[in-house]
Amino acid sequence: MTDGRPLIEATGLVKRFGDFTAVDGIDVSVRAGEAFGFLGPNGAGKSSTMRMIGCVSPVTAGRLRILGMDPDRDGPAIRARLGVCPQTDNLDPELTVAENLTTYARFFGIPRKVARARAAELLDFVQLTERAGSKVEPLSGGMKRRLTIARALVNEPDLVLLDEPTTGLDPQARHLVWERLFRLKRQGVTLVLTTHYMDEAEQLCDRLVVMDGGRIVAEGSPRDLIARHSTREVVELRFAGESQEAFVDKLAGIGERVEPLPDRVLLYVHDGDAAVATVHERALAPESVLVRRSSLEDVFLHLTGRTLVD
Amino acid sequence: MTTVTSGAALTPAVAVFEYHLVGYRRTWRGSVFGSFLLPVLTMLGFGVGVGAYVTGGVAGVPYLDYIVPGLVMSTAFQVAAMESSWPVLGNFEWHKIYFAQSAAPLRVGDILGGHLLFVLFRVLLSAGTFLAVAALFGAVRSAWALAVLPVVALFGAAVAAPVFAYSATISTDSYLALLFRFALLPMSLFSGVFFPVDQLPLGLRAVAYVMPLWHGVDLSRAATLGVAPEWSAPGHVAYLALWAAAGWWLARARFRKRLVL
Ligand SMILES: Nc1ncnc2c1ncn2[C@@H]1O[C@H](COP(=O)(O)OP(=O)(O)O)[C@@H](O)[C@H]1O
Ligand SMILES: [Mg+2]
């Protein structure tokens, strides 16, 4: 029924809490099979948007259609086809790992036997089979996160919503989650995720929007956004002394833009090595020099003038 | 389009009930003392111990027989209150279970109804077991005692639903301590469980009439003794149903306010 139509269509979407506006008129459209990201710092309005898409939070204004249906009218029918991994895990610590999946499957009207089979399959998928019979409480953060992701898949959803799937995980646990999400993506599952990690967005998202203060400030593929809002390379210079700001004038003209941060200066350039050579020709002696590829972090900095701090 | 498969007449609220049962399968041992042993010990202590001093019995029956129907209801009362307080607050504040459920194709009424159903199951199980033990002690004098079970279910709803509403409104459990100390404990002392309410001063007697427990106790006592209740039986049933309905309506509004943000 939704063939060819976007799974998510939002126009002028607004969410207010009292007189505070958390989401301030955003337009979003997500097609089947896409991995779509909301990138932005804390408080940008990502979770508020996800909760409206998940049909647990009523839309204040604007139009929202999920799987072609209206969340106001068809909430349960839409939720029956969604998988949701919320920002904070809300597993049942008193049940076992497997029971967390089987009981949740029953909320979707899935027969017990099918629920058990699917729980076994999903535990295998998220590499928790050996923990199937243990309680949830003693699991590590990464394991809980993987279990929450497995729970989101228990109804074989058409659309999976992941709100900060890897926040708070150590690098190893994060890579394991990424790897699983990447597999889902390859299987053609439509993923919508929020993150404030640039590398996560670059790795997983086909397309993303950058959110700030409840608005969308840019949209495109990670590569597009970097091409449009940054340069190919970035040189990071750290100067001795208290003020990095003081060096901005001395660096003027090198590359396209100079961006002073509290602890370093960024030069946005096409060719990093050539820029470093110019810096030395001007007899400037930075304490450290790093040439790197441009990232979404730079895009965000350019668009908002702020860094994304986790 | 995949819709919710109806399966074996599975309504969403029943799936929620089932979820609570799965949890209970892991935790029931911890509830044995409070829900089963304590009422029996109370029966033995008061009925047999105190009863020995209550010569001539109360209301024309031995004291043991007099307090058993009261204890059935106070057991139902304790379990209903306990199960609708900390667990409900915890499902909002600590484990966020209700929020997990609201992301599934459940409605607020299913989440509330399934949990309430589980509480009624717990209430029936405890009060029913106690009644059976009391019958073994010969403290049940009429086959009407079977009618106590539906009364227990109705009474359980009359207590649990408003306590659900209260627990869904507060954000810390110090408010639960208040509820137990200043509303529930006095109610269980002055509602005709241990002695007739007409021995109470008028003010306290009025409180007994307003709160649900005395209505349950009067019905339960009439049934196990095989006598007419002090007040109208349909009146009791209607009054308890009013508590249950008002409680449900309030609880659903509170749940909605807290879950739908
Ligand atoms: N239930 C709520 N009541 C009031 N304000 C809220 C509520 N939920 C979120 N907010 C506010 O809305 C803003 C956006 O929050 P959120 O959507 O959680 O952002 P993000 O997920 O991008 O960090 C924040 O300022 C937050 O404090
Ligand atoms: Mg968030």
Q: For each of the domains in chain A, give its residue range(s) and CATH number, in order of start.
A: 8-226 (3.40.50.300), 231-293 (3.30.70)
Contact A84 B103 (CB under 8 A): yes
Contact B104 A86 (CB under 8 A): no
Query: For residue A15, which atom of ligand 1 is closest to its CA?
Result: 12
Question: pLDDT by residue (tens digit) across A62-114?
Answer: 999 999 999 999 999 999 999 999 999 999 999 999 999 999 999 999 999 99
Please answer whether residues A180 and A201 qualify as being in contact, where contact means their C-beta atoms are separated by less than 8 angstroms: no
Report phi then psi at B88, rounded to 5: -70, -45
Question: pLDDT by residue (tens digit) across B77-96?
Answer: 999 999 999 999 999 999 99
Give me A71's structure tokens.
């969340």
Ligand nearest to the CA of A40: 1
CB burial of residue A231 (10 Å; 0-12, 13-18, 19+): buried
Give me A78's structure tokens.
């839409």
What is the ipTM for the molecules in this complex?
A: 0.88
Give A243's pLDDT tier (boundaries 50, 70, 90).
confident
Q: Give the span between the Cα atoms of A193 and A64, in whole angstroms.
A: 18
Contact B259 A93 (CB under 8 A): no
Q: Give the span between the Cα atoms of B203 and B114, in whole angstroms.
A: 38
Which candidate from B15, B23, B107 shows the least CB-CB separation from A94? B23
Tell whether ligand 1 has an atom less than 6 A from the beta carbon of residue A42: yes
Tell whether ligand 1 has an atom less than 6 A from the beta carbon of residue A44: yes
Query: For residue A38, which atom of ligand 1 is closest to its CA?
Result: 22
Within 3-22 of B, beta carbons closer than 8 Å to A belong to 3-8, 10, 12, 15-16, 18-19, 22
Contact A58 B260 (CB under 8 A): yes
| Dihedral sign (CA B248, B254, B258, B259) | positive
Question: pLDDT by residue (tens digit) across B98-148?
Answer: 999 999 999 999 999 999 999 999 999 999 999 998 888 888 888 888 889
Which candidate from A81, A86, A102 shows the least CB-CB separation from B103? A86
**Nearest-10 crossing angle of helices A112-125, A97-106:** 130
Question: pLDDT by residue (tens digit) across B3-33?
Answer: 444 444 458 999 999 999 999 998 888 888 7
Question: Quick count: other Cβ atoms within 10 Å of Cβ A256?
Answer: 10
Q: Give the span between the Cα atoms of B251 and A91, in whole angstroms.
A: 24
Q: Residue A3: what pLDDT?
A: 57
Tell whether ligand 1 has an atom less than 6 A from the beta carbon of residue A37: no
Query: For residue A45, which atom of ligand 1 is closest to its CA?
Result: 17
Domain ranges of chain B: 15-259
Q: Residue B58: what pLDDT?
A: 84
Strands A8-17 vs A159-163: parallel, antiparallel or unpaired = unpaired
Q: Residue A310: what pLDDT?
A: 45
> Of A292 and B43, which is predicted with more confidence?
A292
